[in-house]
Amino acid sequence: MAQEALAVKTEELTRVFRLRKREAREGRREILALDRVNLEVPRGELFGLLGPNGAGKTTLIKILATLLAPTSGRAFVAGVDVVANPAEVRRHINMVCGGETSGYGLLTVEENLWMFAQFYGIPSREARRRIRELLSLVGLADRAKTKVYHLSSGMRQKMNIVRGFLTDPEILFLDEPTLGLDVQTARTIREFVRNWLREHPDRTILLTTHYMHEADELCDRVAIIDRGRILACAAPSELKHMLQREAVFRLYVEGVADARAALDGMPGVRALAQEAEDGRLRLDLILAEEGVLVSVLSRLQEAGAKLAELRKEEPTLEDVFLALVGRRLTEGTP
Amino acid sequence: MRRLREAWQGFKVGTWLGWQIESNWTEPFLFAIYSVIKPVAGVLILVFMYLVVAQGGLQNPLFPQVFLGTTFYLYVVNVLSGISWTVTDDREHYGMLKYAYMAPMHFYGYLLGRGMAKTLVATISVLITLAFGIVFLRVQLSFRNPGLLLVGLPLGLAALAFYGILLAGVSLLIARHGWMVGDVVAGGLYLLCGTAFPLSLLPSPFRALGLGLPPTYWLEALRRALLGQGLHPELSALSDAQLLLILTGATVLGIALSVGIFRAAERVAARRGLLDMQTMY
């Protein structure tokens, strides 16, 4: 694809964090946060990076936002090299991070946002118009004159979301924008993002999340990332289609605390995740075909497990991740 | 041209934000009282040290020199330390450094703006202290050389601001004790620049060091402008014009050093991932 049609492009992008001696993990003095990442995100796309904590999503966003230098490889935002010309890149982007309490608490919501608009040289009157409009869209209009230190974390995140969209950026980085928020607030934010893109079809959003339903609901395309590597990249429906020929089952068993020993390495078992739930063991299984289930149940019975419940599931992005990585999104990066 | 506009934008918004942070933490009435009490308390400590510890008299010709040096030193603390503290404060406390940094405004201009706000606050303190000294301590200002004051004061302030940005660059690279950088440097300057006593009282290596520091010449110029004579015999051979020339040179050097060191610090900080670091220390 031609460079000018791309909002983001990375070529063999790699980032290594060097640790001090006392920070070494299991004798390792380096962490490979990004491993030769190649990505192309066309303009107008809502592109998702889905991966567990520590997968490298935020590292990638930071490099694209000119906050972190890559160790090797190249990255382009709006066709501009982020290392060679960061000042030019900054004219095209904005970023919102979730799960943080940034903002000047002594200023009101309106003052914080107005000041931020001034960072971008937006004329004062236009800034105030946009602030009023966006605050009412996220349901925060009645808090415009409230000092930020009085806001709840959900309200503060709504303000941060407004801060990101206020500058009408060509390319917006949303790094876990709904992290730690209650269901209602997260839903409001997702709805706001969807509507904004509908009204601004030429804008691009790069969203990182470890909530698979968020990626599924919002993104045109999703890249699954783990340990700094892109494992798959396609539309959510296409990713799920990868598992169409396989069978996804959820089982609840009693009488055993660990089923891995019984099922690991068993022919036909593509992936397995287990978790204790209400005194039972929940098993999420991806099988090469439905017929394998009989052998699985028999093996579990031999191990002393008693089947309590069995469900056949439609594949989700979580299952895709499980099939690709061998563990759940929520388990993080070891 | 666009870069210049972005620098001006950064300066304006930095000044506005800095003033809000300095003045907006309490009710205006309390802020006004604090603005008076803080510098007056500072000067009373000096008077106590001078009268009781050093057993000097307020009529001693040394007192106005010491008073003036200490009064204008308020700028050193506020401007030089204040700008370097901005980096630590914005990054660790407000979590906003990364957003300011990745905005298209000129970050260097933004820091200068934050310094301007500190200068405004310090100016209030300096004026109150001067008024207190004139009314209650009978300090007599002769305003012998207003031209020296009008040129020397802003030149010295500009130098302080640029050296403050240099320290802000150092603060970018320091995690847990970034706040100490400005304090340590300001404390050192208090000792070495003849703020509260003549340089001749210092051991010779420290005296030589003091003679190499711009605030020494700045304070001397202000003393000559406001009191009619300087404090340090070592500088008596210099004319007013030579003092200003040295100050100008120090300011130009400050600009060059601060731009060079700050840019280098930015590169290192981006390489190490320090621009958005929040240590929670």
- In chain A, what are the domain boundaries? 3-235, 245-314
Residue A316 CB partners (closer than 8 Å, separation 6+): A212, A213, A216, A240
Q: What is the mean pLDDT of residues B260-268?
A: 95
pLDDT tens by residue, B124-145 = 999 999 999 999 988 999 888 8
The 3-state DSSP class for residue B76 equals helix
Contact B99 A163 (CB under 8 A): yes
What pLDDT, on a 0 to 100 scale, did the predictor assign at position B77?
A: 87
What pLDDT, on a 0 to 100 scale, did the predictor assign at position A212?
A: 86
What pLDDT, on a 0 to 100 scale, did the predictor assign at position B178?
A: 67
Contact B9 A95 (CB under 8 A): no
Q: How far is CA B18 from the centre of its chain?
A: 15
Q: What is the mean pLDDT of residues B191-203?
A: 91
Whole-number percent of chain A with pLDDT over 90:
57
Whether the CB-CB separation of A216 and A316 falls below 8 Å is answered with yes
Contacts of A107 in chain B (CB under 8 A): 20, 24
What pLDDT, on a 0 to 100 scale, did the predictor assign at position A2?
A: 67
Query: Would you state the torsion angle of the CA atoms of residues A163, A164, A170, A171, taken in this order, to the nearest 10 degrees?
Result: 160
Whether the CB-CB separation of A70 and B272 falls below 8 Å is answered with no
What pLDDT, on a 0 to 100 scale, did the predictor assign at position B60?
A: 82
Among A320-329, B9-18, B79-88, the range of highest mean pLDDT: B9-18
Contact B16 A95 (CB under 8 A): no
The gap between the terminal CA atoms of chain B, to the nearest Å, is 41
What is the rounded CA–CA span in Å between residue B191 and residue B181?
Answer: 16
- A103: nearest CA in chain B? B94
Contact A105 B100 (CB under 8 A): no
Structure tokens at B226: 């406001």
Q: What is the mean pLDDT of residues B249-259?
A: 91
pLDDT tens by residue, B14-58 = 999 999 998 887 888 888 888 888 888 888 888 888 787 667 777
Q: Identify any residues that bridge with A77 across adjacent strands, giving them in sequence order.
A: A8, A80
Residue A268 CB partners (closer than 8 Å, separation 6+): A287, A288, A289, A291, A292, A295, A296
The CATH number that domain A245-314 falls under is 3.30.70.260
Name the average pLDDT for chain A: 90
- Comparing CB atoms, the residue among B103, B275, B276 nearest residue A119 is B103
Q: What is the mean pLDDT of residues A21-39?
A: 84
Residue B278 CB partners (closer than 8 Å, separation 6+): B91, B92, B95
* Residue B5: its H or E element: helix B2-23
What pLDDT, on a 0 to 100 scale, did the predictor assign at position A223?
A: 96
Helix-then-strand count for chain A, H and E: 11, 14
What is the rounded CA–CA span in Å between residue B127 and residue B147?
Answer: 19
Structure tokens at B115: 């310094």
Whole-number percent of chain A with pLDDT over 70:
96
The CA distances from residue A217 to A46, A51, A191, A194, B115, in Å, are: 11, 16, 10, 9, 46
Contact B98 A67 (CB under 8 A): yes
pLDDT tens by residue, B105-131 = 999 999 999 999 999 999 999 999 999
What pLDDT, on a 0 to 100 scale, did the predictor assign at position A173?
A: 97
Contacts of B19 in chain A (CB under 8 A): none
Q: For residue A332, is pLDDT > 60? A: no
**Alpha helices, H only, B24-104:** 28-48, 62-75, 82-88, 97-101
- B9: nearest CA in chain A? A121
Judge if A3-235 and A245-314 fold alike in CATH terms: no
Cα of B125 to nearest chain A Cα, Å: 22
Q: For residue B206, is pLDDT > 90? A: yes
Confidence of residue B181 (pLDDT cuts 50, 70, 90): confident
Q: Which single residue is written with the structure tokens 């970050």?
A: B107
Helix-then-strand count for chain B, H and E: 11, 0
Q: Who has greater pLDDT, A130 or A19?
A: A130
- Comparing CB atoms, the residue among B9, B17, B95 nearest residue A102 is B95
What pLDDT, on a 0 to 100 scale, did the predictor assign at position A277?
A: 86
Q: Identify any residues that bridge with A74 across adjacent strands, giving them in sequence order.
A: A11
In a 13 Å sphere around the CA of A17, the CA atoms on its Cβ side amount to 20
- B266: nearest CA in chain A? A67
> What pTM value is reported for the model?
0.86
Q: For residue A17, is pLDDT > 60? A: yes
Q: What is the mean pLDDT of residues A149-156?
A: 92
Contacts of A104 in chain B (CB under 8 A): 17, 20-21, 94, 96
* Residue B133: its H or E element: helix B107-136
* Residue among A313, A61, A316 nearest A205 (CA): A61
What pLDDT, on a 0 to 100 scale, did the predictor assign at position A94?
A: 97
Q: For residue A278, is pLDDT > 90? A: no
Structure tokens at B5: 């506009």
Contact A95 B94 (CB under 8 A): no
Cα of B56 to nearest chain A Cα, Å: 45
Contacts of B96 in chain A (CB under 8 A): 102-104
Which residue out of B5, B21, B26, B98 would a mutagenesis test of the A interface target, given it has the greatest number of A Cβ atoms within 10 Å?
Answer: B98
What is the rounded CA–CA span in Å between residue B239 and residue B220?
Answer: 11
The gap between the terminal CA atoms of chain A, to the nearest Å, is 36
Confidence of residue B166 (pLDDT cuts 50, 70, 90): very high
pLDDT tens by residue, B220-232 = 999 999 999 888 9
pLDDT tens by residue, A161-197 = 999 999 999 999 999 998 878 888 889 889 999 999 9
- Asked casually if ipTM beats, i.e. exceeds, 0.90, the reply is no
pLDDT tens by residue, A281-324 = 999 888 888 888 989 999 998 888 899 999 888 888 888 888 88
Q: For residue B10, is pLDDT > 80? A: yes
Q: For residue A207, is pLDDT > 80? A: yes
The CATH number that domain A3-235 falls under is 3.40.50.300
Whether the CB-CB separation of B84 and B170 falls below 8 Å is answered with yes
Whether the CB-CB separation of A114 and A103 falls below 8 Å is answered with no
Contact B276 A62 (CB under 8 A): yes
Contacts of A118 in chain B (CB under 8 A): 9, 12-13, 16, 105
Cα of A74 to nearest chain B Cα, Å: 14
What pLDDT, on a 0 to 100 scale, did the predictor assign at position A330?
A: 66
- A148: nearest CA in chain B? B94
Q: What is the mean pLDDT of residues A133-144?
A: 94
Parse chain B into domains and list their residue ranges: 2-272
